[in-house]
Amino acid sequence: MTATEYKPTMKQVQPISFLFFRTETTLGELGNFFHVANELYAEALKHKLSVTGPVHWHYFGFMGDASKSFTLEIALPVAEVLPDYDGQFHFKRTENFNCVSLIHDGDWLQMTSSYEKLMQYVQAHQLAPAGVNREIYVNVDFVNPQANVTEIQLGVR
């Protein structure tokens, strides 16, 4: 069986409402936050929110240097933003998001090659990175990481 080869594509993601968690972190600390997704789902269930998509991880200010801190948001798409919410997380509705998108099949430890493809596309098309990246976890398999499916969205201006 051969691996599916995906190509980067330009797209504009329409606004999305999120219930989300925000922190400052480094690349080496990301494993400390895997539990947050379950907590977001529990909070959505508690408030009877409709979940409208898979978990996203949004990276703000990460430019490839593993030693530098950046802002991480772990976000769950929901049908509505609760205006009077007073809980452990936050709500927001995003703006349109212009990006170069690529599907990454397989182990997250191999994602560097997918990011390299995205950066090559950005350079070849003379685009400017916006300093915001999204990873959308279409399928997560901690037992068999080769079954992971992640859409990477590299924000561009």
* pLDDT 10s digits, 74-111: 999 999 999 999 999 999 999 999 999 999 999 999 99
Q: Assess if residue 74 is contained within a domain.
A: yes
pLDDT, tens digit, 9 for 90 and up, residues 1-32:
345 678 999 999 999 999 999 999 999 999 99
Give pLDDT, residue 54: 98
> CA 121, CA 107: separation in Å to the nearest integer?
22
Q: Assess if residue 2 is contained within a domain.
A: no
Give pLDDT, residue 63: 78
Q: Assess if residue 92 is contained within a domain.
A: yes
> CA 63, CA 116: separation in Å to the nearest integer?
12
Q: Assess if residue 4 is contained within a domain.
A: no
- Stretch 33-38: mean pLDDT, rounded? 97
User: CATH code at 66?
Assistant: 3.20.80.10
> Domain of 140?
9-156
Number of domains in the chain: 1
> CA 110, CA 117: separation in Å to the nearest integer?
12
**Collapsed DSSP state (helix, strand, coil) of residue 71:** strand
Q: Assess if residue 56 is contained within a domain.
A: yes
Q: Is a pLDDT exceeding 50 seen at residue 37?
A: yes
Give pLDDT, residue 33: 97
Q: Are 3 and 104 in contact (CB under 8 A)?
A: no
Q: Assess if residue 3 is contained within a domain.
A: no
Q: Assess if residue 89 is contained within a domain.
A: yes
Q: Assess if residue 1 is contained within a domain.
A: no
> CA 126, CA 100: separation in Å to the nearest integer?
12
Q: Is a pLDDT exceeding 90 seen at residue 64?
A: no
